[in-house]
Amino acid sequence: MDMDERKLRILQAIIDDYILTGVPVGSRTISKKYDMGLSSATIRNEMSDLEELGFLDQPHVSAGRIPSAKAYRLYVDTLLKAGKIPDTSDASMRSLFTGRVRQMEDVIDHAAQVISNLTHYTAVVLSPKSIQPHIQTVQLVPASEGTALVVIVTDQGIVRDSVIRISREMDSDTLYAISRTLTSELRGATLQEACEKMPLISERVNGNDRMLQELYGFLEEDRNSPRRSHMAVGGTSNMLAYPEYSDVDKARNFLSLMETRDKLAEIIRGNGGMSFTVRIGPETGVPEMTDCSIVTATYSTRGGQQGTIGVIGPTRMQYSRVLSILNIIGHQLTDMFSGEEHDT
Amino acid sequence: MDMDERKLRILQAIIDDYILTGVPVGSRTISKKYDMGLSSATIRNEMSDLEELGFLDQPHVSAGRIPSAKAYRLYVDTLLKAGKIPDTSDASMRSLFTGRVRQMEDVIDHAAQVISNLTHYTAVVLSPKSIQPHIQTVQLVPASEGTALVVIVTDQGIVRDSVIRISREMDSDTLYAISRTLTSELRGATLQEACEKMPLISERVNGNDRMLQELYGFLEEDRNSPRRSHMAVGGTSNMLAYPEYSDVDKARNFLSLMETRDKLAEIIRGNGGMSFTVRIGPETGVPEMTDCSIVTATYSTRGGQQGTIGVIGPTRMQYSRVLSILNIIGHQLTDMFSGEEHDT
DNA sequence: GTTAGCACTCGCAGCCTGTGAGTGCTAACC
DNA sequence: GGTTAGCACTCACAGGCTGCGAGTGCTAAC
C-alpha cells in the first residue's frame, strides 16, 4: 500500500481541518466540507490506510483522527517545496517598524510583540550571537570621582561597557592618552586575544596597575559570558487560548519553560543557522514540548551575524501563515540592521 | 457591636488558615486546629458578627468563610505596626548575590528570579526612575567608518549611548577635542538643558553641523523616553499553581497583564515612593487585579534614586513572609548599588 | 455568655443514561 | 476491483439524579 494522489489530498484536508478546529476530524466531515466527490465510507477506508502508514492517530476508537507528527512533517515539506510563502496581507505589516525604535534591544522587544500579535502564538526573538567580535576602539571615559567607564566598540557595532575604579589623580587627558595606547595595542584583537595581551601592555602604561587589573577582569569576564545576546519573548499568554493548554498543569510547564531563558535560547538556537526550520513535536528534542512545534527563521546584521526569530505554537500550527510572517519580519529586521545603522 | 480582643484573635486564625489552605474556613476548623478554648458554636456566633462587620465573606451558605479585603488590610496593618519583619531563615538569602553579577540590568533580572523563587509568587523589579540626571561627561568614541558612539555619563552613573553618523574625515583626536568641548559646555546640565544649549554650542564647534544635529536628535529623544528604566518579571508561572488561577481564562488575563510591561511598570510604581506598600485586591486600582495583592518595597542607589521591587500574588498572600523577603532583598540591592560601584 | 443539639442548606463527587459522532465490516453496485 | 449504502458497535461527553459531608443558624439548656 502506497501513498497516492488521493490519499495525499485527503490527508491535506484532514490537516487543514484539524489546524482550524483542533477537534479530531471524522470521515463524514471530510466528505462533506471538502467536496472530494467521495462518500464517507471511501474516505473511511483511505483514512484507515493513512493510519496504518503512520500519518494519522486515533485518540480513541469512536473519535475522529488527528494528524501525527509525520503528517505535519509531510505537510510542511510540501509547503516549503512549493515556493513556500503565500503573500499574506503584508500591507498591514510593512509599516510595523516605523515608530522610531533605535536601540537594537528595543527593536528586538518590539519584534517579539509584533510577531506574537500577528500569529497569536508565542514569539521569541534572539539577537545575533556575537561570534568573536574584534575590538575596534577602547576608550576610558571619566565617570564619577575615582571611577571611569570603559567603552569597547567592536567591529560588529556591539558596545560593551563597564565601570572600573581608577586612581583619583587621573584627569580626562590622561585617560585619553591611555585610551589611545590601548586602542592601538588592541585594535583588531578578539576579546580572547586582548586578555592575553594585557600583561604586555601593562608594562607600557606604567603606574596604573590597579586599573589595568580591573580592565583585565572586565575583559576576562565579558569574554566568558554570553550576555549581550538579548532575547525577547512575547505572547506567552496566547498559548492559553488553545484547548491544548486548557489543562493548567500543562500550561504551567510550558510557561516555566518560557521563563528559563537560557534553556529557551538554546532551544531556539538549535536551528543550526538554517534560514527556515520547522521542528514538529518530538523533533524539538525537548520532552516538555512534544505537543509544540517551533518555527524559526533568521535575520542578519551588517557584520553578517545571524539573529533568530521563532514562533512556538501547538503542533497544529498555521504553518504557512507563520512561515510567511517570519519571512516578512525577518526581511524587515535584516533591512533595519544591515542597511542603515540602527540609530536616529 | 465592636471589635474586641477575641474577635481579633479569631479573625487572625481564620486569615492564617485561609492563607495556608485557600479553602473557606469553618467554625469547627478554628475551634479544633487553633485551640481557643471555645466551642464551634461560639466561634460561629463571633464569625457571624465578623461578617456583619465586613471582615468576612461567605461564598455560599453552607461553605466556610473567607477573609474580605478589609480583613487583610487589618491583618497587614497590625503586622506592620508590630515591628513588622520576622526573621526568615535569611542564611539562605544572604548570599544570593554572590555570583558575580555586574551590570545593573543583570542584577535586576537576577533579583526578580530570586524573589519569585523565594516567595513562589510573581516578582517584579524596577530599576530606579532616573529623575533628571545631570551630565558629567560626553565622549565621542570612534566606531565603524563614518560613525561614532556618543557616550554620556551622568552623575547617577547611568550611561546612555547611541551611534551617530559623522563625516569620514574625523579621526580619534578630533573627536576627542570635540568631546572636551562638549563636556565642558554641558557638564552639570540636565538633558533638558543640554537640548537648549545645543544651538549655542553648534557655533563653537563649527563645520560639524550634521553631527551635532544627530547628537541633538539623540538628546531630544532620550530626554523624552522613559527607557533605560529596566524592568524584570519573574515567576509568572508560579501563579498558575494556586487554585485561584485554575480557571484558564483568569490565568490568561493575568498573564497578558504581566506582558504589557508599560502598564505593569505603572502599577508597580504606584507606590508613591513609600518604603513598603501593601495594596490588597480592589486597592490596587486595577480591575483585572481585584483578587490579587501587590506588595512593594524600595531600594536606593548611590545617587539617592529609588528603585522598586514588588511581589504580586493572590490576596491570600503570605504577607509577613513576603514583606520579610522584600525587606532583605531590598537591603541587599541597596548595599550593592550604593556601597561599592556595581562592577568587578 | 457559652454550649449542645438539631434541622437545614448546598457544593461536590460519583453514578447512570441517552445521545451523537465516529468507526469497521459486509454486501451490493457499477 | 473500486465505491458505496447499511448496520451494528464503541465510546466520550453532557445532563440529571443522589448521597455525603461540611457548614450554618437557631433554640434551649447550662
Determine whether the interchain pair B214/A343 forms a contact, defined as Cβ–Cβ distance below 8 Å: yes
User: Can you tell me the distance from the alpha carbon of A218 to that of B222, in angstroms, rounded to the nearest whole number?
Assistant: 27
Residue A215 CA to residue A210 CA, distance in Å, equals 9
Identify whether residues A243 and A301 lie together within a single domain.
yes
Q: Across residues B255-261, what is the average pLDDT?
A: 93
Query: Residue length, chain A?
Result: 344
Contacts within 8 Å (CB) and 24+ apart, A207-216? A208/A166, A208/A167, A208/A178, A210/A165, A210/A166, A210/A167, A211/A148, A211/A164, A211/A165, A211/A166, A211/A167, A214/A164, A214/A165, A214/B343, A214/B344, A215/A150, A215/A164
| pLDDT tier at B97, thresholds 50, 70, 90 | low
CATH number of B219's domain: 3.30.390.60
Measure, in angstroms, how far nucleotide D2 C1' is from residue A265 CA. 53
Distance, CA of B28 to CA of B44 (rounded, Å): 8
The C-alpha cell that represents B88 in the structure block: 526568615
- Cross-chain Cβ contact B343/A218 below 8 Å: yes
Mutate to test the interface with A, among B252, B253, B261, B336 (most CBs of A within 10 A): B252
CA B176 from chain centre, in angstroms, equals: 39
At A38, which CATH number? 1.10.10.10
A236 to chain B: which residues are within 8 Å by CB?
236, 255, 259
Whether residue A139 is found in the same domain as residue A277? no
Q: Which of B144, B159, B217 sits opposite A157 (nearest CB)?
A: B144
Q: What is the pLDDT along chain A (344 residues), one digit of tens a residue?
A: 677 888 999 999 999 999 989 999 999 989 888 888 888 899 999 999 999 999 999 988 888 899 999 999 999 998 777 655 555 555 556 555 654 445 677 788 889 999 999 999 999 999 887 667 778 888 888 777 777 778 887 776 566 667 777 777 778 888 888 888 888 888 888 877 887 777 777 766 665 666 777 777 777 766 665 555 789 999 999 999 998 888 888 889 999 999 998 899 999 988 777 889 999 999 999 998 988 999 999 998 876 778 999 999 999 999 999 999 999 899 888 888 776 543 33
Closest nt by CA–C1' to A41: D4
Helices B319-334 and B69-81 sit at what angle, rounded to 10 degrees? 50
Residue B333 sits at the vertex; the CA angle it makes with B331 and B334, to the nearest 5 degrees, is: 65
- Binary contact (B102, A165; C-beta < 8 A): no
**Helix A69-81, helix A319-338: angle, nearest 10:** 50
Where do runs of H (alpha helix) occur along chain A?
5-21, 27-33, 40-52, 69-81, 91-94, 104-119, 172-186, 191-204, 209-224, 248-259, 261-269, 319-338
In a domain, A34, yes or no: yes
The answer to whether the beta carbon of residue B307 comes closer than 7 angstroms to any atom of strand D is no
Judge contact between B307 and B333, C-beta under 8 A: yes
Residue B158: is its pLDDT beyond 70? no
Of B197, B224, B251, the domain-final residue: B224
Residue A73's pLDDT is: 95
Q: Residue B193 is placed in which grid cell?
A: 538643558
Among left, alpha and beta (phi > 0; psi -120 to 50; other), residue A304 is left
Cell 535569611 maps to which residue? B90
Residue A215: closest CA among chain B residues belongs to which residue?
Answer: B344
User: A60 and A191 share a domain?
Assistant: no
Give A154 to chain B, closest Cα distance, Å: 7
Task: Let me know if residue B246 belongs to a domain.
Answer: yes
Q: Is A153–B142 a contact, with Cβ atoms under 8 angstroms apart?
A: yes
Give the 3-state secondary structure of B268-285: HHCCCCCCEEEEEHHHHC
Query: CA separation (Å) from A7 to A2, A4, A17, A48, A50?
Result: 9, 5, 15, 10, 7
Minimum-distance CB partner of B153 among A100, A143, A241: A143
Helical H segments across B142-260, by residue range: 172-186, 191-204, 209-224, 248-259
Angle at CA of residue A88, ends A84 and A94, nearest 5° = 115
Please tell me whether residues B203 and B237 are part of one structural domain: no
Nucleotide nearest to A65 (CA to C1'): C22
Please indicate, yes or no, whether residues B164 and B249 belong to a single structural domain of this protein: no
**Averaged pLDDT for residues B260-270:** 90
What residue of B is the nearest CA neighbor of A222? B102
β-bridge mates for residue B160, sequence order: B152
Of B161, B214, B241, the CB nearest to A252: B241
Residue B180 lies in a domain: yes
Nearest-CA distance from B151 to chain A in Å?
8
Which of chain A's residues have a Cβ under 8 Å away from the Cβ of B258? 237
Candidates A99, A122, A125; CA nearest to A111 is: A125
Q: Do A162 and B103 touch (CB under 8 A)?
A: yes
The pLDDT assigned to B47 comes to 92
Question: For residue B95, what pLDDT band results from cuts at 50, 70 and 90?
Answer: low
Give the CA B60 to C1' C8 distance in Å. 14
Q: What pLDDT, on the 0 to 100 scale, is given for residue B200?
A: 74
Q: Strand D closer than 7 Å to the CB of B48? A: yes
**A276 and A203 within one domain:** no
Q: Which nucleotide is nearest to B63 (CA to C1')?
A: D23
Determine, yes or no, domain membership for B86.
no
Retrieve residue A167's grid coordinates: 586612581
CA B31 to centroid of chain Cα atoms: 39
Which one of A224, A242, A259 terminates a domain? A224
Tens digits of per-residue pLDDT, B9-51? 899 999 999 998 889 999 988 988 887 888 889 999 999 999 9
How many Cβ contacts (< 8 angstroms) between chains A and B? 138
Asked if A278 and A293 count as a contact pair (C-beta separation under 8 A), the reply is yes
> Cα(B233)–Cα(B326) distance, rounded to whole angstroms?
15
Residues A259 and A325 in one domain: yes
Same domain flag for A193 and A247? no
- Cβ contacts of B148 within 8 Å, gap of 6 or more: B140, B141, B142, B163, B164, B165, B166, B170, B175, B211
| Cross-chain Cβ contact A236/B259 below 8 Å | yes
B139 and B259 within one domain: no
d(C-alpha B30, C-alpha B24), whole Å = 11
**Is the alpha carbon torsion for B316, B318, B320, B323 positive or negative?**
negative
Domain count, chain B: 3
B67 touches strand D (CB under 7 A): no
pLDDT (average), residues B65-84: 85
**Residue B17 domain boundaries:** 5-67
Nearest CA-CA distance, residue B131 and chain A, Å: 18
- Please give, rounded to a whole number of angstroms, the shortest distance from the CA of B17 to a CA of chain A: 25
Å: A60 CA to C16 C1' = 22
Q: Which of residues 62-81 of A touch strand D (CB under 7 A)?
A: 62-63
Q: Tell the residue number behind the cell numbers 483514512, with chain if given.
A: A47
Which of the 8 DSSP states describes residue B190? Answer: B
The reply to whether A315 falls in a domain is yes
B258 and B327 share a domain?
A: yes
How far: B38 CA to D22 C1' (Å)? 19
Q: Is the pLDDT of residue B100 over 50?
A: no
Verify whether the Cβ–Cβ distance B218 to A155 is below 8 Å.
no
Q: Do A124 and A140 have their domain in common?
A: no
The single residue listed with the C-alpha cell 586575544 is A193
Facing B240 at nearest CB: one of A139, A147, A248: A248
B198 within domain boundaries: yes
A237 to chain B: which residues are within 8 Å by CB?
252, 255-256, 258-259
Note whether A330 and A299 are within 8 A (CB): yes
Asked if B42 CB < 7 A from strand D, the reply is: no
- Predicted confidence at residue A99, as pLDDT, reads 46
Q: Residues contacting strand C at CB < 7 A?
A: A 24-29, 40-41, 44, 47-48, 51, 58, 61-65; B 37-39, 41-42, 45, 60-63
**Chain C positions with a protein C-beta closer than 7 Å:** 2-5, 8-11, 20-26
Residue at which a domain ends, from A156, A190, A224: A224
Q: What pLDDT is recorded for position B228?
A: 57
Q: Residue A127, SS3?
A: coil
| Dist CA B18 CA B65 (whole Å) | 9
Whether B330 and B234 share a structural domain: yes
Provide the pLDDT for residue A234. Answer: 95
CATH number of the domain that residue B266 is part of: 3.30.450.40
Residue contact A172–B153, C-beta within 8 A = no
End-to-end CA distance of chain B: 62
- Give a yes or no: residue B190 inside a domain: yes
Residue B207 lies in a domain: yes
